[in-house]
């Protein structure tokens, strides 16, 4: 359906594209959204703005589905912006809390900045292919020439994807986005919206492959770096939602690497499995937060006795994300490791390290929440059925989704991955399951690095410096000053100059008949003289 | 037929002299501007019917000789673009009435005169009458701001009027230039197309473009806008930013570009740079302002800069986008000013540092403000998005380096716009309620709600169904045959 025609060749259509990729994504969005909505009925009970919450969730799901079924890149851009806006509104749901407001602004502006790249990429791409349509763009004989233009276009489109999917250095908005209600984090900032970047690149993959292979290399390295970077930060965070946020960044980076090494199937498979276990982790975290009224790990501990269902489902998700068979994460992670191994040993090494780190920080989280000493004024209680049923459903999905795609498992690589994970789990167990001074000693030895990591390597500060000093202090303030004093000053000077000139010549028309007469006579003489001289 | 659009506000104005009674005044102006909106819709429908039957550039045309020795006629006619401008003006004028609910009779007298000028301007085909109506629209502004304004109102009114008069002086010179160099036989725009010798186009084009550009907030002649908007009463700001600034863009297109396309081609680069500056300069300027109206005024400099920018791209796509942007900006900025009026009338401040948490106190007005903000930062589904995208795609059709670079510069404004919109929304609407006195404030009254709802409906209509207006505009542009 044609929605808006720009010129003879370019027009935005609104349509529905169903292919294996979009159907997979629709399943993810549909299932996770349903679980989140059910969970939210319990979680948000009694909150101010209950109706507004579900209205905004509806807006988000509408936009996300529109994005998934887009038939052309401009339709995707339209819904891309809409999911950004609904994400903004949901992060800022608790709008009376300044932190939530700041976080929502940050999320919107950072992704907007990335979308600027996306938009320019679309403009470049469409101006020389003459189409927005995915089918035409990705056709085998697509009229796309390899060249700097294609590289620019695809690199800018990747910038859009990197913004939405929180790749370094555009990842800064995602951890702060955790200020939103926890079910929202589960839906938007773990399972669906943040993987839109992966989806976009998977959708456009043939174009990347034919026209801009260099950009794929860029994607690989950005992905590998982000995976490691985020995993290191995740180890040092103490807010459980922040840990999960960095974990999400790291796992999406995994998917990006898979795209970079040209294995779309592995990437989308991981997207699929990740959506369920990460949604489960977030909802589980939501149940925990609901019970203890805090996000901080230090306020938790020993919860396995109080919240058995949450405990078991959370454990399943942790095992899955760590890549322990037979949970779903094992299969999809193995696929990616295999693809990376055949492509680039360095990247493979990084991913293997990240797999170990992932297991470590997830089980650090797990042990600190559910094991160890506990001290509560009032014993926390298990969540009501309306919240635990979604957890159980997602846990079941986490157990079975690994088997939906028949995969060939390369046991050599798989065992390397599992060993890395087991090492991570054992270390976490040694450190956190029982009281131990090992973490403290380690922290003391690596004090500088640990400090930097827990401050997220000061990337936020760097961006803050850019916005504060450069945008506000360096451009906007001088512009405002220039406008008021130079431009407007010039206009005022013209005005006052005119007044002064009139004041100077005012005596000429002072109303004295005598002076008029003198002036008259003098003028006549002068003109006569001039006429004589000139003629 | 078209003359009705001028007669209705004129008769409304005359009717106002009957009584000063508030109820009477309100009834008369609502009836008058309601009738004007109905008449505008009727004109639009008639136009669409006539469009199907004819390929003339200007339809529903009428022509009376007014002053034969100088070939001055009262000639009216419309194409798709002027019809849309008329609809925009009628909507904004009517909602402006609701936002000026408590104003006295004399205010509305000038308000009606302003409307006479605006509607006369948009239907005129004769350069002289067009100029006449242009001046009729500008003069009441002086009184509306100077008498009923706030703050530095005398200074602002004087500055605004003098700067716009300066523009008019250039314009008058330009119009006389057009008249005499084209052979001094007609002032009718449709007859003048293609009659101006190339050599003269070079000096006339800049005069006319800058002359109209002053009203379209062309950098560096935009400084009347922040002071003027800040001092003007709510409904005057609405009408001024919503409609009057469109007079500038419309004039640039209707007179400067369509009569002197060759000079426009040659000289467009200079003005493209100036308007490109306007777009980002206005946006950055808005980022650090603390007065709500200043923010909106700088935002208008940015958005109207984009209108002129797109017009200068001289192709159908970008120019379609320019007209859409005029509609979008007109509706959106009127909505902004009406809501700022709602906030101001209750909090008695426009300083964003003194407000906070208004969402909790005034949910209706706040939600409307967020919607206006989204329209301004170009959220899909609202009018700003389709206009901006059409402009960017149109600008990108040029392959030369200068226009590409300028287009990229202009697109960066979408990020800066997001910064200042979200900053404002975050400061005044979100967060805890700063001033305990604000807890007692009431939400928007029914007449203020009417104003907001009508404007939002129009914004959504264009945003969701852009091909409706887009088609009308691009058809009209094709009939003009200037590219």
End-to-end CA separation in angstroms for chain A: 79
A169 upstream amide cis, omega within 30 of 0: yes
Q: Which residues in chain B are contacts of A92 at CB distance < 8 A? A: 430
3-state SS record for chain B: CCCHHHHHHHHHHHHHCCCCCHHHHHHHHHHHHHHHHHHHHHHHHHHHHHHHHCCCCCEEEEEEEEEHHHCEEEEEEECHHHHHHHHHHHHHHHHHHHHCCCCCHHHHHHHHHHHHHHHHHHHECEHHHHHHHHHHHHHHHHHHHHHHCCCCHHHHHHHHHHHHHHHHHHHHHHHHHHHHHCCCCCCEHHHHCCCCCHHHHHHHHHHHHHHHHHHCCCCCCCCHHHHHHHHCCHHHHHHHHHHHHHHHHHHHHHHHHHHCHHHHHHHHHHHHHHHHHHHHHHHHHHHCCCEHHHHHHHHHHHHHHHHHHHHHCCCHHHHHHHHHHHHHHHHHHHHHHHHHHHHHHHHCCCEHHHCCCHHHHCHHHHHHHHHHHHHHCCCCCCHHHHHHHHHHHHHHCCCCHHHHHHHHHHHCHHHHHHHHHHHHHHHHCCCCCCCHHHHHCCCCCHHHHHHHHHHHHHHHHHHHCHHHHHHHHHHHHHHHCCC
Rounded mean pLDDT of B444-456?
Answer: 89
B225-268 pLDDT, tens digit per residue, is: 888 888 889 889 999 888 999 999 999 998 888 888 888 888 88
pLDDT bucket at A497, cuts 50 / 70 / 90 = confident
Give the C-alpha separation, B27 to B23, whole Å. Answer: 6
Contact A78 B380 (CB under 8 A): yes
A12 beta partners? A4
How close is the nearest chain A Cα to the Cα of B412, in Å?
Answer: 7
Interface mutation target, options A95, A97, A152, chain B, most CBs of B under 10 Å: A95
* Cβ-based neighbour number of residue B222 at 10 Å: 30
> Residue A159 — very low, low, confident or very high, per pLDDT cuts 50/70/90?
very high
Predicted TM-score (pTM) of the model is 0.90
Cβ(A101)–Cβ(A93) below 8 Å: no
Confidence at A190, pLDDT banded by 50, 70, 90: confident
Nearest to B422 among A98, A105, A124 (CB): A105
Q: Searching chain B, which residue's CA lies closest to the CA of residue A6?
A: B317
Quote the CA–CA distance of B318 and B291 in Å, as a whole number. 33
Q: Is the pLDDT of residue A425 over 80?
A: yes
**Contact with chain B for residue A18, Cβ under 8 A:** no
Highest mean pLDDT among A460-469, A512-521, B138-147: B138-147
Asked if A4 and B162 come within 8 Å (Cβ–Cβ), the reply is no
Residue B330 pLDDT grade (very low, low, confident, very high; cuts 50, 70, 90): very high
**What is the reported pLDDT for B34?**
94
- Each residue's pLDDT tens digit, A193-225: 889 999 999 988 888 888 888 889 999 999 999
Of A152-156, B182-186, B187-191, B346-350, the least confident: B182-186
Answer yes or no: do B317 and A120 touch at CB < 8 A: no
Return the pLDDT at B417.
92
pLDDT at A145 (0 to 100)? 66
Do residues B147 and B231 make contact, with C-beta atoms less than 8 angstroms apart?
no
Rounded to 5°, angle at Cα A309 from A305 and A310: 85
**Interface contact B374-A85, CB threshold 8 A:** yes
The reply to whether residue A116 touches residue B162, judged by beta carbons under 8 angstroms, is no
Count of A-B CB contacts under 8 Å: 131
Q: Per-residue pLDDT averaged across B372-377, rounded?
A: 92
Please tell me the distance in Å from B288's CA to the nearest CA on chain A. Answer: 6
Min distance B301 CA to chain A CA atoms (Å): 12
Q: A221-237: per-residue pLDDT in tens?
A: 999 999 998 998 888 88
Measured between beta carbons, which residues in chain B are less than 8 angstroms from residue A152?
Answer: none
Looking at the predicted structure, is the pLDDT value of residue B483 above 70? no
Contact of A136 with chain B, judged by CB distance below 8 Å, is answered with no
**Given a cut of 80, is residue A147 above it in pLDDT?**
no
Per-residue pLDDT tens digits for B10-52: 999 999 898 888 889 999 999 999 999 999 999 999 999 988 8
Inter-chain CB proximity B380 and A487 less than 8 Å: no
> Residue A143's pLDDT is what?
59
Instruction: Identify the pLDDT of residue A140.
Output: 65
CB A193 within 8 A of CB A164: yes
Confidence band of A144 (pLDDT split at 50, 70, 90): low
Amino acid A78: pLDDT: 92
User: At which residue do the structure tokens 């902004």 appear?
Assistant: B336
Contact A128, A149 (CB under 8 A): yes
Measured between beta carbons, the chain A residues lying within 8 angstroms of B407 are: 123
Of B220, B287, B415, the CB nearest to A476: B287
Strand partners, B340: none
- The reply to whether residue B285 touches residue A123, judged by beta carbons under 8 angstroms, is no
Residue B450 to residue B217: CA distance in whole angstroms = 29
pLDDT tens, residue by residue, B133-157: 999 998 888 889 988 888 888 888 8
Quote helix, strand, coil % in chain A, to nearest 5: 80, 0, 20
pLDDT value of position B223: 85
**Cβ atoms of residues B240 and B302 within 8 Å:** no
3-state secondary structure of A13: strand
Q: How far is A256 from chain B (nearest CA, A)?
A: 26
Q: What is the pLDDT of residues B333-371, one digit of tens each?
A: 999 999 998 988 888 888 888 888 888 888 899 999 999
Which residue from B386, B415, B471 is facing A113, i.e. has the nearest CB? Answer: B415
What average pLDDT does chain A have? Answer: 85
Mean pLDDT of chain B: 89
**Per-domain residue ranges of chain B:** 4-480
Residue B122 pLDDT more than 90?
yes
Contact across the interface for B285 and A476, Cβ inside 8 Å: yes
Better pLDDT: A18 or A444:
A18
* Tokens coding A46: 């009694």
Which candidate from B285, B287, B360 shows the least CB-CB separation from A483?
A: B285
Q: In chain B, what's the furthest Cα-to-Cα distance?
A: 69
Q: Quote the tokens at residue B374.
A: 């989204």
Beta carbons of A10 and B393 less than 8 Å apart: yes
Strands B72-78 and B59-67 turn out to be antiparallel
- B466 contact residues in A (CB cutoff 8 A): 3-4
DSSP A337-378: HHHHHHH-HHHHHHHHHHHHHHHHHHHHHHHHHHSS----SS
**Interchain contact, B359 vs A95, CB within 8 Å:** yes
Could you tell me which residue, A222 or A512, shows the higher pLDDT?
Answer: A222
**Mutation site for A-interface testing, chosen from B389, B462, B467, B475 by largest number of A Cβ within 10 Å:** B389
User: Which residues in chain B have Cβ-Cβ distances shorter than 8 Å to A495?
Assistant: 159, 162
Q: What are phi and psi of B126, to 5 degrees?
A: -90, 130
């Amino acid at each position: 359906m044609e929605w808006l025609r720009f010129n003879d060749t370019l027009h935005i259509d609104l349509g529905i594209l169903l292919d294996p990729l979009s159907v997979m994504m629709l399943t993810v969005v549909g299932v996770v959204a349903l679980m989140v909505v059910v969970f939210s009925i319990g979680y948000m009970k009694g909150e101010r703005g209950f109706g507004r919450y579900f209205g905004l969730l509806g807006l988000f799901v509408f936009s996300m589905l529109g994005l998934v079924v887009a038939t052309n890149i401009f339709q995707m851009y339209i819904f891309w912006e809409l999911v950004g806006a609904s994400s903004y509104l949901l992060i800022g749901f608790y709008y009376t809390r300044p932190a939530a407001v700041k976080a929502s602004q940050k999320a919107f502006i950072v992704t907007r900045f990335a979308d600027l790249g996306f938009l320019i990429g679309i403009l470049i791409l469409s101006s020389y292919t003459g189409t927005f349509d995915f089918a035409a763009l990705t056709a085998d004989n697509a009229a796309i020439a390899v060249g700097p233009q294609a590289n620019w276009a695809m690199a800018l489109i990747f910038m859009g994807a990197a913004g939405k999917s929180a790749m370094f250095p555009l990842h800064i908005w995602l951890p702060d986005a955790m200020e939103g209600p926890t079910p929202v984090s589960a839906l938007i900032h773990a399972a669906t919206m943040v993987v839109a970047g992966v989806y976009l690149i998977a959708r456009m993959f043939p174009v990347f492959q034919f026209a801009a292979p260099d950009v794929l290399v860029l994607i690989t390295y950005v992905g590998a770096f982000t995976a490691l970077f985020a995993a290191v930060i995740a180890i040092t965070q103490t807010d459980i939602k922040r840990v999960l946020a960095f974990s999400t960044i790291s796992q999406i980076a995994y998917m990006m690497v898979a795209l970079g090494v040209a294995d779309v199937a592995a990437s989308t498979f991981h997207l699929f499995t990740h959506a369920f276990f990460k949604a489960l982790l977030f909802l589980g975290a939501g149940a925990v937060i609901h019970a203890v009224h805090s996000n901080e790990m230090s306020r938790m501990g020993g919860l396995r006795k109080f919240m058995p269902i949450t405990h078991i489902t959370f454990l399943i998700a942790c095992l899955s994300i760590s890549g322990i068979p037979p949970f779903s994460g094992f299969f999809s992670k193995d696929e990616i490791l295999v693809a990376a191994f055949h492509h680039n040993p360095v990247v493979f090494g990084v991913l293997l390290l990240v797999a170990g780190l992932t297991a470590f920080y997830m089980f650090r989280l797990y042990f600190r929440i559910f094991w160890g000493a506990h001290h509560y004024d009032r014993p926390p209680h298990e969540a009501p059925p309306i919240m635990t049923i979604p957890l159980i459903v997602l846990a079941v999905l986490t157990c079975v989704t690994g088997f939906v795609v028949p995969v060939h498992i390369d046991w050599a690589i798989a065992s390397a991955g599992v060993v890395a994970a087991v090492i991570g789990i054992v270390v976490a167990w040694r450190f956190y399951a029982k009281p131990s001074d090992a973490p403290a000693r380690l922290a003391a030895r690596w004090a500088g690095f640990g400090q930097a990591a827990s401050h997220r390597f000061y990337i936020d500060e760097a961006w803050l410096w850019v916005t504060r000093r450069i945008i506000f202090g360096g451009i906007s303030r001088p512009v405002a000053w220039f406008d008021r004093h130079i431009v407007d000053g010039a206009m005022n000077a013209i005005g006052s100059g005119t007044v002064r000139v009139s004041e100077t010549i005012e005596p000429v028309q002072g109303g004295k008949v005598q002076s008029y007469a003198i002036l008259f006579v003098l003028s006549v003489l002068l003109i006569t003289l001039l006429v004589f001289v000139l003629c | 037929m078209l003359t009705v659009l001028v007669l209705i506000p004129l008769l409304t104005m005359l009717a106002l002299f009957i009584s000063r009674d508030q109820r009477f005044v309100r009834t008369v102006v609502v009836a008058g501007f309601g009738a004007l909106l109905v008449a505008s819709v009727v004109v639009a429908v008639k136009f669409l019917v006539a469009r199907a039957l004819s390929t003339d550039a200007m339809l529903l045309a009428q022509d009376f000789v007014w002053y034969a020795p100088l070939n001055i006629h009262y000639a009216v006619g419309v194409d798709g673009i002027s019809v849309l401008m008329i609809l925009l003006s009628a909507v904004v004028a009517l909602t402006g009435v609701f936002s000026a609910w408590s104003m006295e009779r004399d205010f509305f007298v000038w308000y009606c005169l302003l409307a006479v000028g605006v509607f006369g301007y948009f239907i005129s085909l004769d350069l002289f009458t067009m100029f006449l109506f242009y001046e009729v629209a500008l003069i009441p502004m002086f009184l509306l701001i100077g008498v009923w304004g706030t703050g530095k109102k005398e200074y602002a009114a004087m500055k605004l009027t003098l700067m716009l008069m300066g523009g008019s002086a250039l314009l008058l010179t330009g119009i006389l230039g057009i008249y005499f160099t084209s052979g001094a036989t007609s002032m009718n725009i449709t007859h003048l197309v293609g009659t101006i010798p190339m050599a003269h186009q070079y000096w006339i084009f800049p005069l006319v473009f800058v002359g109209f550009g002053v009203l379209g907030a062309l950098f560096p002649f935009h400084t009347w806008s922040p002071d003027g908007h800040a001092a003007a009463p709510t409904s005057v700001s609405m009408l001024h930013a919503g409609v009057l600034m469109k007079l500038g863009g419309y004039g640039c297109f209707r007179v400067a570009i369509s009569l002197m396309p060759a000079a426009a081609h040659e000289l467009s680069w200079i003005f493209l740079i100036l308007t490109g500056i306007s777009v980002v300069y206005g946006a950055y300027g808005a980022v650090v302002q603390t007065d709500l109206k200043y923010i909106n005024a700088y935002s208008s400099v940015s958005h109207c800069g984009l209108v002129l920018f797109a017009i200068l791209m001289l192709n159908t796509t970008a120019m379609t986008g320019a007209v859409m942007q005029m509609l979008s900006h007109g509706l959106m900025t009127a909505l902004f000013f009406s809501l700022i009026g709602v906030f101001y009338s209750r909090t008695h401040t426009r300083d964003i540092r003194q407000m906070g948490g208004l969402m909790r106190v005034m949910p209706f007005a706040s939600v409307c403000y967020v919607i206006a903000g989204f329209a301004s930062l170009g959220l899909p589904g609202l009018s700003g998005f389709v206009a901006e995208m059409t402009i960017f795609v149109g600008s990108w059709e040029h392959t030369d380096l200068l226009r590409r670079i300028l287009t990229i510069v202009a697109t960066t404004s979408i990020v800066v716009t997001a910064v200042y919109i979200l900053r404002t929304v975050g400061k005044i609407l979100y967060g805890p309620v700063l001033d305990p006195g604000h807890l007692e404030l009431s939400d928007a009254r029914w007449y203020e709600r009417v104003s907001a709802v009508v404007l939002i409906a129009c914004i959504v209509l264009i945003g969701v169904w852009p091909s409706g207006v887009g088609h009308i505009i691009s058809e009209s542009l094709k009939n003009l045959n200037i590219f």
